Structure 1
Amino acid sequence: MYPWERIDPDNDSTLRIIHEAASRGITVAITTPHNLTVRNNTAHAFCNVLRKSSKISGNIPSFYRKAEFKRCKLPLAGFDAIVMRANPPLDTVALNFLDSVRNDVFIMNDIDGLRIANNKLYTASFSGDASRFVPATHVSKNREYLEHVLRDAPTEKMIMKPLNGYGGQGVIVIEKNARQNFRSLLDFYIGSGAESNYVILQEYVEGADKGDVRILMLNGEPIGAMKRVPSGDDVRSNIHAGGKEVKHVLSKEEKELCRAIGPQLVRDGLYFVGLDVISGKLIEVNVLSPGGITRINRLNRVKLQTRVVDFIENIVAAKEHVLERKNAFRKAIEDAEAV
């Protein structure tokens, strides 16, 4: 995850998951990508292991302030589960460390799933019925092509954003009548040389000025949602960009969207994700550290983190059952050979 000291204890989703696990007596260790290491060909991490307490405070900000840790270098294969909660951009080297333990540990979200879905290109992979929920999207570094896309767009405005941005960073509305400024914006967004960046031009979805809906998906099913409303004249509804959350009940169209894309999320090992939806259109899939647990909890008087930890424990228990069954069968075969 991101460093412990950067947590906002009042709103952080990862902290809610940690608190839930600790409350169940689970041993919790946290680390950051740069603390991964290899010793004698075995992947380890320098971890801060949460010291267990006889009583865990139900007040999560208080739990955060009082938390004590022991510093240890631990083998990754010894854990039952690894929960990936690092902020974008994706650290691909960190995934290489985890490749060596993927058969020993349940990793959420799956390494290959993170590789294919860690940026905004992932929505283009939805096909069949799911594709009707995805707005027309164009991604390129070619300035002439992007100018052509804007000029020929069927609507008077489009959304432009960097491919690897998050939290609403760099999201702007481009209007056709402002095309004289478009080239200079592309120069700024794309840059030059080896460090150039991809830019997204996306169909403007009507209703974007009224906000978007964040839907949290667990194992292909929606478990909670909220609406995020922009502040003032800002087009971005992201909470970190000044937006505010309001209670939201999924519409029939939003439920259909979840049913259409849920199976692919599970196939790709993307068990816990955040969907950003505007007027029934899927804008982004957030797979690295989807937030919203705390705010959805407040709005609906629920504890979504219990469902997340339940899911992890059920997966671990199923894996252990399979291993025990395999070992019992192996012993039966060895005993037969000894007769």
Structure 2
Amino acid sequence: MRLAFLVNDVDTEIDEYTTTRLARAAARGGHDTWYIGVGDLEFGSNDGLFAARARAARWMDDDTLESFMERIKGCDPERIVLDDLDALVLRNESIDDLQARPWASPMGVVFGQMLAARGVTVVNDPNTLHRATSKLYLEEFPESVRPRSLVTRDPEAIARFVDEVGHAVVKPLYGAKGRNVFMIDGPDETNLAQMTEAVLQDGYAIVQEFIDGAEDGDVRMFLLEGRILERDGRPAAFRRVPTGNDPRANISTGGRSVPLEAGAPEFAVIEPMADKLVADGMFLVGIDVIGGKVVEINAESPGGFQSIERLYDLDIAETVIEALERRARVGS
């Protein structure tokens, strides 16, 4: 299989990323594997084909993730024709580019849509991904699996919602890595105006009712083609626990990952979501669950494979590449 991973910028990739583990699994499996940055694409040459300045990802027997990524960054870019790819894996995070490189933010989805129309298998499906990047995507799923919520830019509407539900969480509709996520104690929250102002600087806000147990963290689960991702019978899931007084459990904000016992009630949310995820072409997603409610769907470059590898000594990336190979063989 000939495949490429589209990232924000190859030179800023980190060896611990989930993307690096996916590329390692692909290269180890003998696949022709490439890295492409959002700014490395081109279209409209005389041959009418898509092309890119790509860097080869070749795994050596004595490699570590660090040496693997160093070699990718250090090699000279080669011009490859993207029409010849069997699969393109969209791993760029558009939200990261939204502020510093606004021109780059939509381009992964745009080029992904065009390549998919030309017959290349593109995951996750770019025709849905532009919508799934927003936290509003969660509202398309059954009420039974998600908390009560409100999406608005009206501070007074946020205050009214808090009056109704009491304890709540407010965060940007387009946000990641725990930035500007605030816990609201209830209608008497003295800092509500300041919290709301900070969140609305990023656009729309989403306010969710607080789910009992959130103070103890959340559960990150990976779903592959609508089912729990597994390797050797072990589900790809773990608990994220906040540290200190920070209620956010995101690993990027200092949270730590701990094993999740199989058979946890969080797995009950998967079945009501499965059909829609498959229909929407959401090949690989990460979902965050608290108390049997999904509080977030991570459809754009979901991360956390390093926690699975550390906790269970499992390379679940191999399962993902095997599934991608099957999908590319039959067509997306």
Shorter-chain TM-score tier: 0.7 to 0.9
Aligned residue for 1:102, secondary structure, equals helix
Contact map agreement 2:94 2:106 (CA 8 A) in 1: no
Structure 1 counterpart of 2:215: 209
Query: Could you tell me which residue of structure 1 aligns to residue 192 of structure 2?
Result: 182
3-state SS of the aligned residue for 1:289? coil
Secondary structure of 1:188's aligned partner: helix
TM-score scaled by length of structure 1 = 0.85
Task: Check conservation: 1:162, 1:198, Cα contact below 8 A.
Answer: yes
Paired residues in the alignment total 308
* Residues 127-146 of structure 1 deviation map (CA, whole Å, 9 limit, x = unaligned): 3xxx2110001110012211
Larger mean Cα displacement after TM superposition, 33-42 or 15-24: 33-42
Whole-Å separation in 1 of the counterparts to 2:276 and 2:241? 29
Name the SS of the counterpart of 1:217 in structure 2: strand
Partner Cα separation in structure 1 for residue 199 and residue 156 of structure 2: 14
Whether the 8 Å CA contact 1:43–1:98 is kept in 2: the answer is no
Of 96, 120, 126, 2:135 maps to: 120
Partner of residue 97 from structure 1, selected from 111, 136, 145:
111
Higher helix share: 1
Structure 2 SS opposite 1:70? coil
Q: Distance in 1 between matches of 2:67 and 2:50?
A: 33
Query: Which residue number corresponds to residue 26 of structure 2?
Result: 21
Q: Which letter does structure 2 place at the counterpart of 1:136?
A: R
**C-alpha displacement of 1:252:** 4.8
Counterparts of 2:222 and 2:43 in 1: how far apart (Å)? 34
Q: 1:125 to 1:172 in 2, by over 3 A?
A: same
The separation in 2 between residues aligned to 1:304 and 1:260, in whole angstroms, is 24
Structure 1 range deviating more: 287-296 or 92-101: 92-101
Q: CA deviation at 1:58?
A: 5.2
Quick check: 1:111 aligned with 2:126?
Answer: yes
Q: CA deviation at 1:239?
A: 0.5
Matches of 1:177 and 1:99 in 2, distance apart?
44
Amino acid at match of 1:22: A
Would you say the 8 A contact 2:170–2:196 is kept in 1?
no
C-alpha displacement at 1:178, in angstroms? Answer: 4.0
| 1:32 equivalenced with 2:37 (yes/no) | yes
**1:19 & 1:69 partners in 2: Cα distance?**
16
Q: What stretches of structure 1 of length at least 5 have no aligned partner?
A: 321-339
Larger Rg computed on CA atoms: 1
AA paired with 2:111?
F
Are residue 285 (structure 1) and residue 292 (structure 2) matched?
Answer: no
The 3 A distance-change label for structure 1 pair 60 and 181 is closer
- 1:324 corresponding residue in structure 2: none
Matches of 1:170 and 1:251, distance apart in 2: 33
- Cα distance change, pair 61–101 in 1 and its aligned pair in 2 (3 A): same
> Structure 1 residues 229 and 186, CA, compared in 2 at 3 Å: closer, same or farther?
same
TM-score, scaled relative to structure 2: 0.87
Q: Which residue of 2 aligns with 1:64?
A: 69
1:187, distance to aligned residue in structure 2 (A): 2.5
Corresponding residue for 1:333? none
Aligned to 1:45: 52
d(CA) in 2 for partners of 1:247, 1:6: 30
1:83-162 equivalences in 2 (<5 Å): 83-89=89-95, 91-103=105-117, 104-127=119-142, 131-153=143-165, 155=166, 157-162=167-172
> In the alignment, which residue of structure 2 is the partner of 1:296?
308
Aligned to 2:321, the other structure's residue is in SS state: helix
Offset at residue 182 of structure 1 (A): 1.9
Offset, 1:173: 0.4
Distance 1:37 1:132 in 2: 44
Q: Give how far 1:290 is off.
A: 0.6
Identity, in percent, stands at 27
The alignment partner of 1:113 has SS state of: helix
Distance 1:107 1:43 in 2: 14
CA spacing shift, 1:73–1:178, aligned 2, 3 Å:
farther
- Encode CA deviations 1:127-175: one digit per residue, 9 max, x unaligned: 3xxx21100011100122111111222x3x1101111110111111012
Indicate the RMSD between aligned Cα atoms, in angstroms: 2.0
Contact 2:217 / 2:249 at 8 angstroms: preserved in 1?
yes
Cα offsets for 1:160-212 (capped at 9, x unmatched): 11111101111110122544432233233214xxxx61011100011111110
SS in 2 for 1:100: helix
